[in-house]
Amino acid sequence: MPRIFVSQALLDAWLASGRTRLDGDLLRLPAELGGVSLYLTPAVAFERIDGADTDPHQLVGTVRAVAELGRMGAEVYDTSVVLGECAYSVSPGYLAIPVGEGGVEALFDGARWTALVGGLTALGG
């Protein structure tokens, strides 16, 4: 299942533009993006490990859902995650899954993915 990471700052910019709206866990996109919405799940993007030279959990450079981190025993605090003895700086946001009518996952070929990414980029932020 393809997913896109959308930072909280980017989501805020999209919502402020007035071209998108939030409907529960669904981000409703403008019609010119093909009637696709994005199902949002809270997540973080790992930017760096703080106070250590190595990353024993190999999380830096990855995106993880907050629920997954909870199952791992991690604690999420705004722009930080603590897992065991390790502290990480993270970017809060969402994993976004494109869905069509009825909330069914949208299956895209390469050209449609390119069009979606281009449309999302054009939303600004």
Distance CA 79, CA 65 (A): 14
Distance CA 53, CA 26 (A): 39
Q: In this structure, are residues 20 and 122 in contact, taking their beta carbons and an 8 Å threshold?
A: no
- The beta-strand segments (E) located in the chain are 4-7, 21-23, 26-28, 37-50, 63-65, 75-77, 80-83, 86-99
Average pLDDT, stretch 30-38?
Answer: 82
pLDDT, tens only, 41-100: 999 999 999 988 899 999 999 999 999 999 999 999 999 999 999 999 999 999 999 887
pLDDT at 56: 94
Q: Where are the domains of the chain?
A: 4-122
